[in-house]
Amino acid sequence: MRDSAGKRPTVRASHPVLAVARSVPATDRVLDVLQLFRGDDRVEVTFTVNPGSASGAGVAGMLRDAGVENVIDWEQAVRERDRYRLALAASPKEDLHRLARVPHPGRAGTGHGPPLVLMPHGIGHNRRVPDAGGTPDRASGLDPGQLLHEGRPVPARVALSHREQHERLAAACPEAAERAVVTGDPSHDRMLANLGRRARYRAALGAAEGQVLVVVSSTWNRDSLLGAQRETLRRLLAELPADEYRVALVAHPNVWHQHGRAQLELWLADEIEAGLTLVHPHNGWRAALVAADAVVGDHGSTTYYAAALGRPVLLAAFGNAELDPDSPLRAFGRRTPFLRADRGVPDQVEEVLAAPAPEARGLLIEHPGTAAHRLRDLFYGLLGLRPPQQPARFFAVPEPVATSSDVTAWRVSHATQAGTPAAPPRVRVRRTAAATAAPEAGFLVVDEEDAALERRDMASVWVRSRPASDSRDWVAGTLRSRDCAVAAAATPSGEVVLGDRGGHWLRLAAAEQALPPAVVAAAVAAWSRSGGSPEAWSTGIRVCAGGTETLVRATPPPPLNSGDGGDPEAPPHTGDEALTHPRRSAAGPPRPPGASGGRRTDPGPDAGTRHASRAPRAARRGRRAPAAPAPPERGTRPH
């Protein structure tokens, strides 16, 4: 905290403004609207922290991250209230009357302190919080117990996002309703203004071009998605194919600050290992909603904001008991589909993606796109100043900060299709992260970088996805030291070198689109498991993964290097058949072009570049460094 006495400012602002921080969401909203003073040297902002919030521990860090240095404690703010021309708050709780100018009818003067503008910190006023100065049947922010002091309204203005809140306020507290003004919603408008940054935000969250980004949104408390339907996260990651989907979690700041980041990451360790992106709580949620293709959520504001942006929504939980019975958020819950337990997740997500998104914005947001102008006019009117000439607008939403991890082990199921004179054979592989997938989901493909010791002896396929010049030696060494059917390694030239228990060597290249080495290796193993011959790769097989389909062909090996050895000398694989046609011996069929008996055959498809899309649904992880292709993989018995 900083003492304002004795300051020698370089810029002397004529109109000091006091910003009241309480919870992380309320502070977030205040930081939003303070952007409307941009470029005005007449206004200087001082923060004070009103204690008592469940997420109050995070406020100091949030202000520090926002670059706020001018912070005074609550009692100092109360003592010095007369020096401020305006106060802004986004929470109605904890003694705001001590700060604000509350007129006393029948007395001379206008009271002490600045005029206070009170705003919601979420999407309107919906949640009932009876332990915060209100009554059990009314929404926090609309209750007389929070808005009146000795029968007089505390705020000079109550900013609302929609006229329906004004109607509920008039019924609950007519004295405060006289001071209400509908300004629209600043958070919604900030997201609208940043839709052009969608690709930037998706890349920051690890979503590849065309990959479907499913954002999971959870409010706090026991009726929330995390409180009541914790298994939803594991289910999404276990059922949604990893090459087609990316899953991110946006959790309410109260979840983060009640339990702490370390505890949250500990609880979600399996999900993060399976590819979950954990979005940090301060600024990331807006960017995540802009980036999202679909949202799975609950009754929190973030889920509704997603629907207001036109994002398809599935509900996994909905705490009606926490909501004002008259809140439109209840109507939103009634008309939004739930994620059902008796149907597969992919089908349900595909359905909401294909259906027209129902109009939701009009329920709780009015005057979209104009909140900046309306709020700035309100603030400057109370300050007694003419607003700046430039248009009112908010800052750009920054890229989200998130915790994530590369997936390094997959369960792979597959389907094959024989070729025809007009078309080559086809192999379709479907990968789900091994950390959350059931063993029956397919054979196990493991990357060299996988840290789970228990998976090492279970893998049917080992992969090294980071390109290196010793790819053939690595494959040979892996077949000698590991009990796997197939080993494959990426090369610097963007191909994949692959060997198997039958002594077959392939150098594989994708013709049209690059594929992760793990996908190429999984496709070769799947083809073998379905009875296909290795010779077929010399003429080419179409490999499908996610939204990508490309021809993969074995090509002739490069000249041998002096350091190359012979065929891998390894005992027969005990867990999986060799990479041969089942009717032939392990030494079996003649090696196809591009397989040189154990001599070095180089490269294979690009390591780790995924092109996913529903059209196109192919996926490469946007977070991975250019030199580090998609991680390797390992396998168990395929389907």
Question: What is the rounded average pLDDT of the residues 267-274?
Answer: 98
What string of H, E and C letters represents the secondary structure of 88-120?
EECCCCCCHHHCCCCCCCCCCCCCCCCCEEECC
Given this model, what pLDDT does residue 126 score?
74
Q: Does residue 490 form part of some domain?
A: yes
- Are 272 and 219 in a shared domain? yes
Cβ atoms of 48 and 114 closer than 8 Å: no
Choose among 560, 561, 559, 546: nearest CA to 513: 546
Choose among 135, 140, 44: nearest CA to 92: 140
Given this model, what pLDDT does residue 139 score?
84
- Are 266 and 294 in a shared domain? yes
The total of other beta-carbon atoms located within 10 Å of residue 558's CB is 16
- Are 209 and 143 in a shared domain? no
Choose among 215, 265, 278, 273: nearest CA to 245: 215
- Residue 212 and residue 215: Cα distance in Å, rounded? 10
Domain that holds residue 140: 15-188
Question: What is the rounded average pLDDT of the residues 182-197?
Answer: 97
Given this model, what pLDDT does residue 57 score?
76
What's the CATH code of the domain at 338? 3.40.50.2000
Domain termination site, one of 309, 333, 363: 363
Q: Tell me the torsion sign for CA atoms 96, 99, 102, 107.
A: positive
Q: How far is CA 138 from the centre of its chain?
A: 32
Structure confidence at residue 575 as a pLDDT band (50, 70, 90):
very low
- Residue 319 and residue 127: Cα distance in Å, rounded? 10
Structure confidence at residue 127 as a pLDDT band (50, 70, 90):
confident
Cβ atoms of 206 and 277 closer than 8 Å: yes
CB burial readout 7-44, b (16+ within 10 A) else e? eeeeeeeebbbbbbbbbbbbbbbbbbbbbbbeebebbb
Q: How far is CA 492 from CA 520, 603, 631, 632, in A?
A: 16, 7, 15, 15
3-state secondary structure of 64: helix
Structure confidence at residue 140 as a pLDDT band (50, 70, 90):
confident
Residue 577 has pLDDT above 50, yes or no: no
Tens of pLDDT, residue by residue over 53-82, are 766 778 998 999 999 999 999 999 999 999
192 CB-near residues (< 8 Å, 6+ apart): 309, 368, 369
Residue in the structure block whose two tokens are 């000698």:
480
Choose among 247, 245, 255, 188: nearest CA to 218: 255
Q: Does residue 639 form part of some domain?
A: no
Q: How far is CA 639 from the centre of its chain?
A: 31
Question: What is the rounded average pLDDT of the residues 166-183?
Answer: 94
Given this model, what pLDDT does residue 582 score?
31
Range in 159-173, 545-559, 576-590 the model is least confident about: 576-590
Given this model, what pLDDT does residue 105 score?
54
Given this model, what pLDDT does residue 103 score?
61
DSSP 332-397: HHHHSPBPPTTS-HHHHHHHHHHSPPPP-HHHH--STT-HHHHHHHHHHHHHT-PPPSSPP-PPPP
- Are 323 and 469 in a shared domain? no
Q: Does residue 1 form part of some domain?
A: no
Strand partners, 552: 510, 541
Backbone angle region of 9, left / alpha / beta, with phi > 0 → left and psi within -120 to 50 → alpha: beta
Tens of pLDDT, residue by residue over 197-222, are 999 999 999 999 889 999 999 999 99
- Are 178 and 264 in a shared domain? no
Inter-residue long-range contacts of 131-134, CB under 8 Å, 24+ positions, other chains counted:
132/93, 133/92, 133/93, 133/94
Given this model, what pLDDT does residue 114 score?
96
Residue 143 has pLDDT above 80, yes or no: yes
Q: Does residue 454 form part of some domain?
A: yes
- Are 278 and 182 in a shared domain? no
Given this model, what pLDDT does residue 101 score?
76
Range in 1-5, 120-124, 330-334, 458-462 the model is least confident about: 1-5
- Are 468 and 612 in a shared domain? yes
Given this model, what pLDDT does residue 138 score?
76
Q: How far is CA 433 from the centre of its chain?
A: 17
Domain termination site, one of 136, 153, 188: 188
What string of H, E and C letters represents the secondary structure of 104-170?
CCCCCCCCCCCCEEECCCECECCECCHHHCCCCCCCCCCCHHHHEECCEECCCEEEECCHHHHHHHH
Angle at 228 between CA 238 and CA 165, to 5 degrees: 120
- Are 184 and 220 in a shared domain? no
The secondary element (H helix, E strand) that includes residue 33 is: helix 24-34
Given this model, what pLDDT does residue 6 score?
55
Question: What is the rounded average pLDDT of the residues 116-127?
Answer: 88
- Are 33 and 163 in a shared domain? yes
Q: Does residue 403 form part of some domain?
A: no
Tell me how many domains the chain contains.
Answer: 3
500 CB-near residues (< 8 Å, 6+ apart): 479, 485, 486, 487, 524, 528, 534, 578, 579, 580
Alpha-helix runs per DSSP H in 444-591 = 453-456, 471-481, 517-529, 536-539
Given this model, what pLDDT does residue 55 score?
67
Q: Does residue 592 form part of some domain?
A: yes
The secondary element (H helix, E strand) that includes residue 48 is: strand 43-49
Domain termination site, one of 154, 188, 222: 188
- Are 341 and 430 in a shared domain? no
3-state secondary structure of 264: helix
Whole-number average pLDDT of the chain: 85
Structure tokens at 501: 């228990």
Q: How far is CA 516 from CA 241, 431, 500, in A?
A: 15, 12, 19
The secondary element (H helix, E strand) that includes residue 305 is: helix 301-308
Tens of pLDDT, residue by residue over 320-367, are 998 988 899 999 999 999 999 999 999 999 999 999 988 999 999 999
Given this model, what pLDDT does residue 202 score?
98
The residue among 382 and 599 whose pLDDT is bigger is 382
User: Prior bond to 616 cis, omega within 30?
Assistant: yes
Residue 581 has pLDDT above 60, yes or no: no
Tens of pLDDT, residue by residue over 486-540, are 999 999 999 999 999 999 999 999 998 899 999 999 999 999 999 999 999 999 9
Q: Does residue 350 form part of some domain?
A: yes
- Are 53 and 172 in a shared domain? yes
Compute φ and ψ for 96, nearest 5 degrees: -65, -20
- Are 69 and 215 in a shared domain? no
Q: Does residue 5 form part of some domain?
A: no
Tens of pLDDT, residue by residue over 229-252, are 999 999 999 999 999 999 999 999
3-state secondary structure of 402: strand
Given this model, what pLDDT does residue 632 score?
37
